[in-house]
C-alpha cells in the first residue's frame, strides 16, 4: 500500500509499504483523512528515515479486531494511532481502545483534527483536577491543542487565560468569549493550573505563575531552547507540582480513550468545541504543509485528505 514515511532531511515522502500487522485488539482502517499537527512535524524531524507518520485517523473499518472489541466492519470511525503513528497511509491498524464510530454530521476534516489534540487537551486539563472557578493558563493557545484546551477548560467552568506569542495571536483568539489573552510580559498569575504547550523559555516563565498547590502540566517541547527552573522555585511555590503529561497515558484503561473520543466527537458535532480547521489539502502536499507548520505559517489545523 501507499504511505508517507520520514526522510533523512526531516520531511516525508511516498513509499510502498506492507499492509500493517495487527494484534488481536487492533482493527484495520481504510484511511480517508488525517491532519497536520506539530506531533507529525516532530515525527518527521526526530524519527529515523523510513518511519511511519500521521497521528490522527478518519476512515472506514475494513477488518474488525479479532477479539471482537471496537467498531464493526464498515463503520466510519476516528481514532488515534498513539506514538507509533502511521495514519498517513492508505490503511492503518488502530487499537480498539483508541477508535470510535462517528456520526455522519461530523465531517472528515473536523473529525481528523480531534483525536491527538483533543486527547492531549483533556489530559492536560485533567492534571488540574476539578476546574470549576479555577484559574487556568494555556500557553501556545493559538495552536491546535491550545485552542481545544481553552474551549474544554471554559466548558468545565474555569477562568481561562490564553498565552499568545504576538498581537496577531491575540486577534486570532478573539473568537472566544470570556477568554483573557496575555503576552509573556503582561500575564498575571497565580494560576491553579498551567497547561504548557510550548516548553523552553515559556515553560520556565510559566513555573513562576503557578499558585501554591497549583499544577503545571508540561506537554510540549515546541520551542527550541531548554527550560530552566526559576531560582528557589520550590521555596516560592510550596506544594506546586510539575507533571509531565502524555495523551496516551491511561487511555487503554477501562474504556477511557473511547469515552474521551466519544466526548470530543459529541462536543464537536454539537458545536461546543471547534478544532479550527482552516483548510484541507491532498496528502500529496504533506511535505509543503510540514514546512509551513515548522515556519509557524499555518493558522489553525489543515486537514489532510488521503486517497
Ligand X SMILES: NC(=O)c1ccc[n+]([C@@H]2O[C@H](COP(=O)([O-])OP(=O)(O)OC[C@H]3O[C@@H](n4cnc5c(N)ncnc54)[C@H](OP(=O)(O)O)[C@@H]3O)[C@@H](O)[C@H]2O)c1
> Which x/- pattern, by CB under 6 A, does the window 58-97 give for ligand X?
----------------------------------------
Task: Assess contact for 208 and 230: CB atoms under 8 A.
Answer: yes
Cell output for 252: 487503554
37 binds ligand X (CB under 6 A): yes
Site for ligand X in 139-198 (CB under 6 A): 140, 142-146, 165-166, 169, 197-198
- Full DSSP string of 124-149: HHHTT---TT-EEEESSTTSHHHHHH
In sequence order, the β-bridge partners of residue 6 are 12
Q: Which stretches does DSSP call E strand in 139-265? A: 159-163, 180-182, 191-196, 210-218, 241-244
Binding test (CB under 6 A) with ligand X, winner from 100, 127, 203, 245: 245
**Strand, coil or helix: what is 261?**
helix
Stretch that binds ligand X, among 26-34, 98-106, 208-216, 239-247 (CB under 6 A): 239-247
SS3 state of residue 2: strand
Q: Does 120 bind ligand X (CB under 6 A)?
A: yes
Instruction: Please count the other Cβ atoms lying within 10 Å of the Cβ belonging to residue 189.
Output: 16
Separation between Cα atoms, residue 104 and residue 3, nearest integer Å: 26
CB of 144 to ligand X, least distance (A): 4
Helix (H) or strand (E) holding 282: strand 277-282
Tell me how far, at minimum, the Cβ of 145 lies from ligand X, in Å: 4
250, 256 contact by CB (below 8 A): yes
Cβ distance to ligand X smaller for residue 12 or 202: 202
Q: Tell me, what DSSP letter sits at residue 204?
A: H
For position 203 contacting ligand X by CB under 6 A, the verdict is no
Among 3, 20, 29, 38, binds ligand X (CB under 6 A): 38
Contact between 42 and ligand X by CB under 6 A: the answer reads: yes
Pick the piece of the chain touching ligand X (CB under 6 A) from 92-100, 231-239, 243-251, 275-283.
243-251
Q: Which is nearer to ligand X, 223 or 291 (CB)?
A: 223
Q: Under the criterion CB under 6 A, does residue 204 sit at the interface with ligand X?
A: no
Name the site residues for ligand X (rule: CB under 6 A).
37-39, 42, 116-117, 120, 140, 142-146, 165-166, 169, 197-198, 202, 219-223, 245-247, 293, 296
Amino acid at each position: 500500500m501507499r504511505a508517507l514515511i520520514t526522510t533523512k532531511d526531516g520531511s516525508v515522502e511516498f513509499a510502498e509499504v506492507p499492509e500493517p500487522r495487527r494484534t488481536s485488539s487492533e482493527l484495520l482502517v481504510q484511511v480517508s483523512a488525517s491532519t497536520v499537527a506539530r506531533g507529525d512535524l516532530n515525527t518527521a524531524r526526530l524519527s529515523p528515515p523510513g518511519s511511519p507518520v500521521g497521528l490522527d485517523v478518519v476512515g472506514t473499518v475494513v477488518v474488525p479486531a479479532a477479539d471482537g472489541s471496537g467498531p464493526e466492519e464498515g463503520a466510519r470511525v476516528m481514532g488515534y494511532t498513539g506514538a507509533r503513528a502511521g495514519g498517513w497511509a492508505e490503511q492503518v491498524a488502530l487499537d480498539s481502545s483508541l477508535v470510535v464510530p462517528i456520526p455522519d454530521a461530523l465531517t472528515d476534516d473536523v473529525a481528523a483534527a480531534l483525536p491527538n489534540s483533543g486527547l492531549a487537551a483533556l489530559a492536560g486539563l485533567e492534571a488540574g483536577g476539578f476546574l470549576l472557578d479555577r484559574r487556568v493558563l494555556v500557553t501556545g493557545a493559538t495552536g491546535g491543542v491550545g485552542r481545544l484546551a481553552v474551549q474544554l477548560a471554559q466548558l468545565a467552568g474555569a477562568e481561562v487565560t490564553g498565552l499568545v506569542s504576538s498581537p496577531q495571536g491575540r486577534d486570532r483568539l478573539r473568537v472566544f468569549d470570556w477568554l483573557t489573552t496575555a503576552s509573556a510580559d503582561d500575564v498575571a498569575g497565580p494560576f491553579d493550573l498551567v497547561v504548557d504547550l510550548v516548553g523552553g523559555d515559556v515553560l520556565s516563565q510559566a513555573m513562576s505563575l503557578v499558585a501554591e498547590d497549583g499544577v503545571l502540566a508540561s506537554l510540549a517541547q515546541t520551542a527550541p531552547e531548554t527550560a530552566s527552573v526559576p531560582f528557589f522555585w520550590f521555596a516560592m511555590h510550596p506544594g506546586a507540582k510539575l507533571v509531565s503529561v502524555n495523551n496516551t497515558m491511561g487511555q487503554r484503561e477501562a474504556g477511557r480513550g473511547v469515552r474521551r473520543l466519544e466526548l470530543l466527537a459529541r462536543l464537536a458535532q454539537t458545536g461546543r468545541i471547534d478544532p479550527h480547521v482552516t483548510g484541507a489539502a491532498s496528502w500529496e502536499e504533506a511535505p509543503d504543509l510540514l514546512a509551513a507548520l515548522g515556519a509557524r505559517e499555518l493558522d489553525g489545523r489543515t486537514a489532510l485528505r488521503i486517497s
